[in-house]
Amino acid sequence: MSDVVLTERVGNVLVATLNRPEARNALSPALIDDLSDVLRSADADPEVRAVVVTGAGTVFCAGMDLKAFTKGGKFDGLVWFFREGIATPVVAALNGSAMGGGFELMLACDLVVAAEGAKLGMSEVKRGLFAAGGGTTLASRAPLSVALEMGLTGDPVTAAQAREFGLVNRVVPADQVLTEALALASRIAENGPLGVAMTKKLMRERRWAEPDEITSVFRSTDATEGARAFAERRPPVWTGA
């Protein structure tokens, strides 16, 4: 098991914890690569139906490890996740602030539960950089004026403001973040995995389903099981097929 990304299974939910609290969970090349491996493995495991990503300590993620950056470290290990994501739903549990690359990691997740005191922002311009991990797409998620102010000033917003902009689903006390995120992920994990994956895909791509996509889900074993379980008044037993 990696020491910079800790994993734990809670039912059908995988919890991945960024574990560099002494560095405010800054994204070092090792952390990036290990988190990438965890996410790929989770997506390939039919028993994992939702993922929660959180941080150790009081900060979710402070962004790129600038010390490693000055030494020429490689930081492209999560580009695929920022761009493409995974079929399995991912909930970000912001135990604290998410800045720079940490904010972009949050944006790559599907749902967000944030601590009341958390601050969220794209601080890259303050270091002569820009948000190359997806932060520049923020205007597709928030008003353009908000995205430009965050991107051009590098100043953060509060968790409450982020919720007003539609970037955060829940804002709760810090000691309730993981519990709330797990409850949300568990509710997702109770549903048919094929239907969940297709819903996420189509919503992310903002489009209607193609006929073959409809057939692949509506004629699946899980679709039959879902209908039968409803008629028999029992919980469904999903196989993902």
Look at residues 184, 176, 197, 182 and name the one whose alpha carbon lies nearest to residue 240: 197
Q: Which of 8, 22, 84, 104 is catalytic?
A: 104
Tokens 């949050």: give the residue: 106
Q: Which of 22, 124, 164, 205 is catalytic?
A: 124
Residue 84 phi, psi dihedral angles, 5° rounding: -110, -30
Residues 166, 155: Cα–Cα separation, whole Å:
18
Residues 215, 220: Cα–Cα separation, whole Å:
8
Could you give the dihedral angle defined by the CA atoms of residues 105, 109, 115 and 121, in that order, rounded to the nearest 10 degrees?
A: 40
List residues bridging with 9 in a β-sheet. 14
User: What type of residue sits at position 115?
Assistant: A
CB 89 within 8 A of CB 50: yes
CB 104 within 8 A of CB 135: yes
Geometric angle at alpha carbon 150, from 130 and 126, rounded to 5° = 45
| 116 is annotated as an active-site residue | no
| 124 is annotated as an active-site residue | yes
Tokens (6 digits) for 209 = 């389903």
Geometric angle at alpha carbon 14, from 216 and 5, rounded to 5° = 130
Catalytic residues: 104, 124
